[in-house]
């Protein structure tokens, strides 16, 4: 089980867009910044736009702009924009199948296994929702040259 | 991104083994309990044995037995037995690639994006490690007929 690499691409691209003033920047330019596949990055950018994190700006000087300040963008929003909102643990209700299922009355409550796995996943979601991209930017700004380098890369 | 269905299979199988006294029970019998594919379940049982959660008992009346009481088995151990210990978020260090990578000095610290994603994943691991299968069993025992049904199913 592994997160799509698009999550890393999306996070760095949002941070880069912020460091160059919010955009717009073309998807080709955003891809070149980290040597990424333009077509695969473009799919991630479309997902971010669909999730309301980017705005697609038409025209020859268009591209993608940040839709809101990074203070308002959590890790959870970016992960769910790229990966969707399906749970990691998908309960197939096997308790209702086979010999045990045949002998059991129809369940009236959530399976205890499912509930326990859900509690753990909620802790992950809460930790993702508790961190904004602005906080990550603060960490990056600890290295003074970061902004200068990103701006130079976008020339 | 979705967890292998083997995690649900493994959790229910460990709980069933406990309810019938710890085993041994054959993999075919354990599969029939929930109408599971015997060959796929057998792979999960081998993984649980490799992780020290089950003991493989040879012989005609052999099969798999619990290696330790459910008080000592956490959700994290079962998830990692089946899914491995690789992280959900795999950092490919794209910060070192492309135009930004060319302009940047070699990094001396963990990428802030990677560190933030790791913090969230640690919260998930902690929540998985904080729950034992004995606690799930307590929830199941809230339905008084559960143990009786499981024992009947293993006849």
What predicted TM-score, i.e. pTM, was given to this entire model?
0.93
Quick one: A1 exposed, middle or buried, by C-beta within 10 A (0-12, 13-18, 19+)?
A: middle
* A positions 12-41 inside 8 Å of B (CB): 12, 15-16, 31-36
Q: Closest partner residue to A89 among B3, B90, B127, by Cβ?
A: B3
Position A143 confidence tier, pLDDT thresholds 50, 70, 90: confident
Tell me if A1 and B3 make a contact (CB, 8 A cut-off).
yes
Place of tokens 């260090």: B93
Structure tokens at A118: 């859900």
Residue numbers of the domain that contains A63: 5-153
Contact B99 A12 (CB under 8 A): no
Any idea which of A11-25, A73-87, A114-128, B134-148 has the lowest mean pLDDT? B134-148
Q: From its phi and psi, is residue B21 left (phi > 0), alpha (psi between -120 and 50) or beta?
A: left
This model of the complex carries an ipTM of 0.94
Residue closest to B13 by CA, chosen among B1, B28, B31, B37? B31
Per-residue pLDDT at B41: 97
DSSP-derived letter for residue B52 is T
> Which residues have a Cβ under 8 Å from the Cβ of A97 and sit 6 or more positions away?
B34, B35, B36
* Mean pLDDT of the region A10-20: 97
What CATH number is associated with residue B110?
1.10.10.10
Q: What is the largest CA-CA distance in chain B?
A: 69
B150 interaction partners in chain A (CB closer than 8 Å): 100
* Cα separation of the two ends of chain A: 38
Beta-bridge partners for B64: B25, B56
Nearest to A34 among B83, B100, B120 (CB): B100
Query: How many distinct structural domains can be found in chain B?
Result: 1
Name every chain A residue with its beta carbon within 8 A of the beta carbon of B1.
Answer: 1-4, 83, 86, 88
Which sign, positive or negative, has the C-alpha torsion B43, B48, B49, B51? positive
Query: Checking DSSP bridges between strand B63-66 and strand B54-57, what pairing results, if any?
Result: antiparallel
Q: What is the dihedral of CA A59, A39, A29, A60, to 10 degrees?
A: -10
Whether A15 and B113 lie within 8 Å, measured CB to CB:
yes
């Amino acid at each position: 089980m592994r997160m799509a690499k698009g999550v890393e691409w999306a996070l760095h691209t949002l941070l880069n867009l912020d460091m160059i003033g919010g955009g717009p920047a073309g998807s080709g330019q955003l891809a070149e910044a980290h040597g990424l596949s333009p077509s695969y990055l473009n799919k991630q950018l479309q997902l971010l736009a669909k999730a309301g994190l980017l705005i697609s700006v038409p025209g020859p000087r268009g591209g993608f702009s940040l839709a809101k300040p990074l203070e308002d963008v959590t890790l959870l929003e970016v992960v769910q924009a790229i990966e969707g909102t399906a749970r990691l643990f998908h309960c197939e209700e096997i308790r209702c199948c086979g010999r045990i299922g045949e002998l059991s009355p129809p369940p009236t409550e959530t399976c205890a296994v499912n509930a326990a796995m859900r509690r753990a996943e909620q802790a992950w979601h809460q930790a993702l929702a508790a961190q904004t991209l602005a906080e990550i930017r603060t960490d990056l700004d600890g290295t003074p040259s970061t902004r200068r380098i990103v701006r130079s890369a976008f020339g």
